[in-house]
Amino acid sequence: MRQWEKYIRKVEPYVPGEQPQDEKLIKLNTNENPYPPAKGVERLLKEMSADSFRKYPDPACSCLVKALADYYGLSEDEIFTGVGSDDVLATAFLTFFNSDRPVLFPDISYSFYKVWAGLFEIPYETPALDGEFRIRLEDYRKENGGIIFPNPNAPTGLFMGLEQVEDIIKRNQDTVVIVDEAYIDFGGESALPLTRKYDNVLVVQTFSKSRSMAGMRIGFAMGSRRLIQAMYDVKYSYNSYTMNMPSLLLGTEAVKDDEYFRKITSKIMETREWAKQRFRELGFHFPDSMANFLFVSHEKCPAKELFEALKNAHIYVRYFDQPGLSNHLRVTIGTNEEMDELFAFLHTYLNGHGYEL
């Protein structure tokens, strides 16, 4: 080992879902929205001048912050924006999780939490979910350095009611509680009202799923003025120009079209409920998802075998080769046509390999 190699920070990185480049595929592995963004986004994109790219973007992200504040009924100093919710969450980890006590998050949840904790040298504990993949409230009634959990959870899709969310917050008012709501727009009830009642609550959302803009990388947090100001102080300490100008302008346009937003999220929820029935008919089991994906397992066919078979057929789903998850597949809800092709393949494969239906 060279001398300088001793001082390289050692981390176990997050492993993102595959981004295959096949010309013909069905991509159901990274929870992207199968429908395009709002029409106003497309229109504005065509009107943009390349000359505008030579200037730095607004570091305060003012137009987007104002649009979000107006939409959610907040003041502009209660909104923080970042390059996708990952950037927002990483900033929150840096800002709020700085004590010697462990941060708490579920053992089965968004796997990036462990990565950030390791990178920023934050102690943490991961209380186990119960046998139905649900949070046990009693596990969050002990001393801690902060709490974070997805709601709906990832990768299970389970939603925890606001009464339970508030129970966690109420018993932990000395630390910051972050509710990661990447999938909240697919049928769940946001914890945003609780930010009015408790000043230690941060709600984080994203444009990647419900607003069809994963490629633009837009995330945001909502919370008390003190929390938001603290996050901006940290942000401006290492990178003031985090969000690019097209993302700011196109994201602002997306927020304006609420009718389209509700139409598309409703369409995905309808497909999800239909897909639940189709999966059941094929012998699959899954938690009752309130997200834009299902976390499925088959009582006879091993998940890894099915994952490889689907991939060979150019149908991509997500497989997690880790304890507690290794016999499940996470399947993003696509268009009705894409889901039809998925179910046709599953029916043929399961029958043809002796997994009687």
Q: For 196-223, what is each residue's pLDDT tens digit?
A: 999 999 999 999 999 999 999 999 999 9
pLDDT at 354: 81
Res 135: pLDDT: 97
**Beta carbons within 8 Å of 69's beta carbon, 6+ residues apart:** 75, 76, 78, 79
Largest distance between two CA atoms of the chain: 62
What is the reported pLDDT for 242?
Answer: 82
Q: Is the pTM of this model over 0.75?
A: yes
Say yes or no: 187 and 293 in one domain: no
Question: Do residues 267 and 252 both lie within one domain?
Answer: no
Which CATH number belongs to the domain containing residue 328 in this structure? 3.90.1150.10
252 and 264: one domain? no
How do residues 54-81 score in pLDDT, each as one tens digit? Answer: 999 999 999 999 999 999 999 999 999 9
Residue 336 has pLDDT above 90, yes or no: yes
Quick one: 289 and 170 in the same domain?
no
Q: Residue 158 maps to which CATH number?
A: 3.40.640.10
Give me the pLDDT at residue 357, please: 61
**13 found inside a domain:** no
- Strand 26-27, strand 315-316: pairing: parallel
What's the confidence (pLDDT) of residue 11? 83
Radius of gyration of the chain (CA): 21
Nearest-angstrom CA–CA distance, 328 and 151: 19
Two structure tokens written together for 55: 């200037």
Per mean pLDDT, which range of 21-25, 184-188, 286-290, 333-337 is the poorest? 21-25
Q: Could you tell me if 91 and 82 are in contact, meaning their C-beta atoms sit under 8 angstroms apart?
A: yes
Instruction: Write out pLDDT tens, residues 233-281.
Output: 999 998 887 899 999 999 999 999 999 999 999 999 999 999 999 999 9
Whether 341 and 315 have beta carbons less than 8 Å apart is answered as yes
Cα-Cα-Cα-Cα torsion 17, 155, 64, 46, nearest 10 degrees, comes to 40
pLDDT for 10: 83
- Tokens 């003012």 locate to 62
Instruction: For residues 281 and 350, give the distance between their C-alpha atoms in angstroms, rounded to a whole number.
Output: 12
Number of domains in the chain: 2
pLDDT at 5 over 90: no
25: Cβ–Cβ under 8 A, 6 or more apart, which residues? 314, 315, 316
Of the pLDDT bands very low, low, confident and very high (cuts 50, 70, 90), residue 356 is low
Lowest-confidence region among 7-16, 87-96, 230-239, 310-319: 7-16
Residue type, 45: L
Q: What is the DSSP string of 3-37?
A: GGGGGSPP-----PPP----SS-EE-SS---SS--
| 109 and 122 both lie in a single domain | yes
CA torsion angle 339 344 347 352 (round to 10): -140
